[in-house]
Amino acid sequence: MATLLSPLFSFTCQNPRSHLLLPTFRRRTQTQDKKTITVRINCNCRSINSTISQEQKGSKTFGLRFHVPNFSCDIDNLKGVFAIVLIILQTATPFPLNEIGKWFISPANAVLYSPNTKVPRTGEVALRRAIPANPIMKSMQDSLEDIFYLLRFPQRKPYGTMEGDVKNALQIATKEQDLIVGSIPLNMKEKGLELYNYLINGEGGLQSLFESIKEKDPDKVSKNLSSSLETIAQLELLQVSDLPYLLPQQYQDFPRLTGRAIVEFTVEKADDSMFSMSTNGGNGKTATIKVVLDGYSAPLTAGNFAKLVIDGAYDGVKLKSTEQAILSDTEGNRVGFSLPIEIMPAGGFEPFYRTTLNVQDGELPVLPLSVYGAVAMAHNPTADDFSAPSQFFFYLYEKRNAGLGGLSFDEGQFSVFGYA
C-alpha cells in the first residue's frame, strides 16, 4: 500500500526591469535679449551618439544649453523645457546606468523560460536518444528528429525542408538495408526484417510520412513521424547486444542491467479513495505505474534497482509527496548496494562515477532529470558522491520551477536511470 499525493506548485522569479528617473540641476544666465538655461547631468556612459555637445572629451559630465527667448525663468514656465531635456536624455543615453539605484522604480516580476532545445522533454525521446545505436541508424534518427523541431513553427511550416529530411532517411534505409538487417542477431532476424519492412512501407512508415508532408497535414505528419521514430528505436534495440563500454574494475561484482527492463508498480491510496483512470476511463482502487529502466546509460543504478524489485524490497513501501517529487519511504532500509553517483554525459562514451555535471558549463546528461516522471536515486545521506542504496523518487518536473534554460536546478546532480 502506498500514499500517492499530487503536490501543488507555486513559484515566481524576479526579473528587474527598470525605468530611470533623472534628477536635474539648473543654472540660469541672462543676456540682453534672451535667456539661457543650462542643464548638467552626470552619467557613466562612455560615449553619447547624439546631437548633445560634450563639454570635455572623456569626462562623465555633459551639458545641454537651450536658448529660450521671451520666457520668464520661473519654474512653472520652464516645465516644458525640462520635459524635453529628460526625453532627449532617456533617448540618447544607454541604460541601465550604474550607481543610480536610488532612482529606480520597483522591479517587475517575470517568469523566464527559454528551453534548451538539446535536452529531450519527454521520457520517450530521452530513452530513444540513449540507445547506443550505430552511425547509420543515428543518421536516420537525427534526420527525422529535425522534423519535430520544424513542426513547432506556428504558421508557415517548412515542408520543403521536411521532405528533404525524409528523403535522406529513406535513401539511407534503402541503401544500407544489408547492414541494418545484418547487424541484428540471428534469433531476432525475423523480427528485425519485419520492422524494417514496416519502416519503409508500413502504415506509419517513411513513405506514409513523406505523403503526409506533401499533403501539408501537420497532424498526420506528427503521427507518422512518431511511428517511424518508434520503429527505428525498436530496430536499434535489436542491434545492441551488450554495453559498448567496460565497467570500472571496482564495480565488477555489482548487479548490472545491460539493456532495457520494464517495472510495474501497483499502488493504492492510503485513504482507500479511488484513482481516476486517464486511459480506460472510470475509477479504480489501484493504479499501475510503469517504469522503463535504462541500463545503457546507468547499468549499475538500474541493475541495483531491478534486483531490489525482484527481491521484493519495495513491496508495501509507502510513497510520500514533496513539492517536486514523489519519494519512496525507504531511507532507513539497509538493503541494496551503496553505489556511486552514475551519470552518462551527452556525447560521452561511458558514464561518470562519483561526480556530477556542471550544467552551467554546457554539460548535459543523456537521461535528464528535467522530464516529468524521471526516476532517480536519492543521495546517500552520509556521502554526497554516492546514491542511496534503495531510496528513489519520481521527479515532477515543472517548467515554472526551472532555470532560464528550462532545466531543473538539480539537473546533473542525481543518478537518473529511467522514466515513468
In angstroms, the CA 157 to CA 151 distance is 6
Number of residues in the chain: 420
What 394-397 contacts at long range (C-beta under 8 Å, 24+ apart), as own/partner pairs, is 394/289, 394/325, 394/326, 394/420, 395/324, 395/325, 395/369, 395/371, 396/7, 396/324, 396/325, 396/326, 396/372, 397/324, 397/369, 397/370, 397/371, 397/372, 397/373
- Of 50 and 160, which is predicted with more confidence? 160
pLDDT, average across residues 275-303: 87
DSSP β-ladder status, 61-68 and 342-343: unpaired
pLDDT, average across residues 89-96: 59
In a domain, 3, yes or no: no
In a domain, 342, yes or no: yes
Kindly report whether the peptide bond that precedes residue 96 is cis, defined as omega within 30 degrees of 0.
yes
Identify the CA nearest to 128 among candidates 139, 143, 138.
138
The answer on 391 and 289 residing in a single domain is yes
Identify the CA nearest to 303 among candidates 270, 326, 327, 336.
336
pLDDT, average across residues 290-313: 95
The pLDDT-based confidence of 13 (bands split at 50, 70, 90) is very low
Q: Which domain holds residue 340?
A: 249-419
pLDDT, average across residues 308-312: 93
The answer on 225 and 153 residing in a single domain is yes
| Helix H or strand E encompassing 393 | strand 383-395
Task: Scan for cell 548496494, then name that residue.
Answer: 337
Instruction: Write the DSSP symbol of residue 138.
Output: H
Amino acid 112: pLDDT: 42
In a domain, 10, yes or no: no
**Whole-prediction pTM:** 0.69
Last residue of a domain, one of 239, 266, 282: 239
The pLDDT-based confidence of 6 (bands split at 50, 70, 90) is very low
List pLDDT tens digits, range 194-211: 999 999 998 989 999 999
The answer on 184 and 150 residing in a single domain is yes
Amino acid 235: pLDDT: 95
Q: 379 exposed, middle or buried (CB, 10 Å; 0-12, 13-18, 19+)?
A: middle
Q: 155 exposed, middle or buried (CB, 10 Å; 0-12, 13-18, 19+)?
A: exposed
pLDDT, average across residues 372-383: 90
Torsional sign, CA 47, 51, 52, 53: positive
- Of 31 and 318, which is predicted with more confidence? 318
Domain count, the chain: 3
In a domain, 15, yes or no: no
List pLDDT tens digits, range 243-253: 999 999 999 99
The answer on 150 and 92 residing in a single domain is no
In angstroms, the CA 288 to CA 265 distance is 5
The answer on 184 and 69 residing in a single domain is no
pLDDT, average across residues 295-299: 95
Amino acid 412: pLDDT: 85
Q: With a cut of 70, say whether residue 23 has pLDDT above it.
A: no
The answer on 201 and 148 residing in a single domain is yes
Amino acid 61: pLDDT: 45
Instruction: Write the DSSP symbol of residue 172.
Output: H
The answer on 213 and 282 residing in a single domain is no
For residues 303 and 311, the answer to whether their CB atoms sit within 8 Å is no
Amino acid 380: pLDDT: 87
Q: With a cut of 90, say whether residue 114 has pLDDT above it.
A: no
Q: With a cut of 60, say whether residue 228 has pLDDT above it.
A: yes
In angstroms, the CA 26 to CA 21 distance is 16
For residue 93, the Cα-to-chain-centroid distance in whole angstroms is 37
Task: Dig out the grid coordinates for 241 from the structure.
Answer: 547486444
In a domain, 339, yes or no: yes
Q: With a cut of 70, say whether residue 130 has pLDDT above it.
A: yes
The answer on 267 and 408 residing in a single domain is yes
Mean pLDDT of the chain: 78
Q: With a cut of 80, say whether residue 111 has pLDDT above it.
A: no
In angstroms, the CA 164 to CA 351 distance is 35
The answer on 282 and 174 residing in a single domain is no
In a domain, 116, yes or no: no
In angstroms, the CA 181 to CA 305 distance is 33
Q: With a cut of 70, say whether residue 237 has pLDDT above it.
A: yes
The answer on 410 and 261 residing in a single domain is yes
The answer on 232 and 351 residing in a single domain is no
Q: For a pLDDT cut of 70, what percent of the chain falls above it?
A: 71
| Helix H or strand E encompassing 36 | strand 35-42
